[in-house]
Amino acid sequence: MKRNNVIIILGLFSFFGLAMNLTFKPTPIKIEYPSSWPKPVYNFDNNPLTQEGIDLGRKLFYDPILSIDGSISCSNCHLSYTAFTHVDHPLSHGVNDSIGIRNSPALMNLAWHNSFMWDGAVNHLDVQALAPISHPAEMDEDINNIIRKLIGHSTYRESFYKAFQDSTITGEHLLKAISQFELTLISCNSKYDSVMLKTQVFSMQEERGYELFKKDCSSCHAEPFFTNNQFENNGLPINPILLDLGRYNITKKKTDSLKFKVPTLRNIEFSYPYMHDGRFKSISEVLNHYTNNIKVSNTLSNKLKSEIKLTSNQKVDLTAFLLTLTDKKFLFNKDFSFPLDKYYPDVEKKKKTD
């Protein structure tokens, strides 16, 4: 009898041992982008994309569980239909209706960024989410507390296990999952992109606008990302209330005063209001700034030292070109929007059977 028991128990042990070894294998995913683009800056070896990781990141991105009072998710300030920015709000709104000091930037092609935030305060996509999570005017939450809430949640442990083969939820995996979703936000299907691939052509007006753009703008808003990822002073007068010195806040170098990261212009049609403090509501206000209102200061970019001159017709042409950067496939991509099926699987299942 005794011996039988031992055998059974040993058998069970080896069975569980085997079961543990045959862990769930996630589905690897490769991001797709035009062959003419450079290699991403993001090191995917340290965080290989998987469908399970991306799904988890997307769910987290839309989940107010990340904020202290459960009222705000990343998507409150970064809406998929507006290139992941916050329309109509020059400055971002957080928990308790507190107002931040900056305009939320559009999120796309983040795998090619080498710094984040208007002043480059964040040096890697993975650690970016720590900033909004802990900012009192944004989500005002502590990462350890978020992890406690996620552990108590009915589905997150399983999702973390599927994504990382580890049901212990760690800060590392939480951040890497959010990155995985963000890394899939690639905008490369605008009319401009089709023209570059020679599958479409610009109108005459767009073509004229493109020439003006290359002459006056692309030194900073460099193709194909429409940013050179540098910090520049583009001649905006300092905001008298916010007194934001931009890059200087991070480096404490006088030569960095009033410099901000050059933002992408992809999907610019949808990402208003514009500039770090959202001071301009329309593209025409932006163009008027560049032609009439450049404020000369010690750190003004050399690229703007000679005046930009545009007739009103040329402004119309330039605007027509900027509108070719709109990527409807990106803006209305179902894989990026609120994951209804992840929150209400039953409703979705019912819909399908109905």
Partner 1 sequence: MKLFLFILINLININIYHYQNNDQLYVKIIPLFDNNPIQLSKANKDSISIETLKFYLTDFCLIKSGEVVWKEVNSYHLIDISKPTSLDIFFTNEVKVDFDEIQFLLGTDSLTNVSGAIGGDLDPTKGMYWAWNSGYINFKLEGKQNSKPFQFHIGGYASPYPTVQKIRLKTKKNLNIAFNVADFLNQLNLVNQNKIMSPGKEAQELSEILSSLFYINEKE
CB of 51 or CB of 229, closer to ligand HEC: 229
CB of 46 or CB of 98, closer to partner 1: 46
Q: Is residue 146 close enough to count as binding ligand HEC by CB under 6 A?
A: no
Cβ burial of 2 (10 Å; 0-12, 13-18, 19+) is: exposed
Nearest-angstrom CA–CA distance, 214 and 339: 39
Nearest-angstrom CA–CA distance, 274 and 291: 16
Strands (E), the chain: 231-232, 260-261
315 neighbors 198 (Cβ within 8 angstroms): no
Binding-site size for ligand HEC (CB under 6 A) equals: 51
Pick from ligand HEC, partner 1, none: which does 43 bind, CB < 5 to 8 A by kind? partner 1
CB of 100 or CB of 273, closer to partner 1: 100
Nearest-angstrom CA–CA distance, 324 and 339: 29
H runs (alpha helix) in 197-309: 204-216, 248-251, 283-292
284 neighbors 315 (Cβ within 8 angstroms): yes
Binding residues for ligand HEC restricted to 254-283, rule: CB under 6 A: 260, 262-263, 265, 268, 271, 274-276
**Stretch near partner 1 under the rule CB under 8 A, chosen from 124-132, 185-193, 263-271, 332-340:** 124-132
Q: Which residues make Cβ contacts (< 8 Å) with residue 229, sequence separation at least 6?
A: 112, 113, 114, 115, 261, 262
Which is it for the CA torsion 283, 284, 290, 296, positive or negative?
negative
Binding residues for ligand HEC restricted to 12-71, rule: CB under 6 A: 61, 66
Among 286, 294, 325, 331, binds ligand HEC (CB under 6 A): 286
Nearest to 288 by CA among 309, 317, 258, 259: 309
Q: Is residue 320 close enough to count as binding partner 1 by CB under 8 A?
A: no
Q: What's the distance, CA 29 to chain centroid?
A: 19
Q: Is residue 206 close enough to count as binding ligand HEC by CB under 6 A?
A: no
200 neighbors 338 (Cβ within 8 angstroms): no
Mask 67-86, x = binds ligand HEC (CB under 6 A)? -----x-x-xxx--------
Task: Give min distance, CB of 152 to ligand HEC, in A.
Answer: 19
| Interface contacts to ligand HEC, rule CB under 6 A | 61, 66, 72, 74, 76-78, 92-94, 100, 102, 104-105, 107, 110, 113, 116-118, 128-129, 132-133, 138-139, 178, 182, 216-217, 219-221, 232, 234, 236, 260, 262-263, 265, 268, 271, 274-276, 286, 290, 301, 303-304, 308
Kindly list the residues in this chain that would bind partner 1 in the complex (CB under 8 A).
2-3, 5-6, 9-10, 43, 46-47, 121-127, 130-131, 133-135, 143-144, 147, 170-173, 175-176, 179, 250, 252
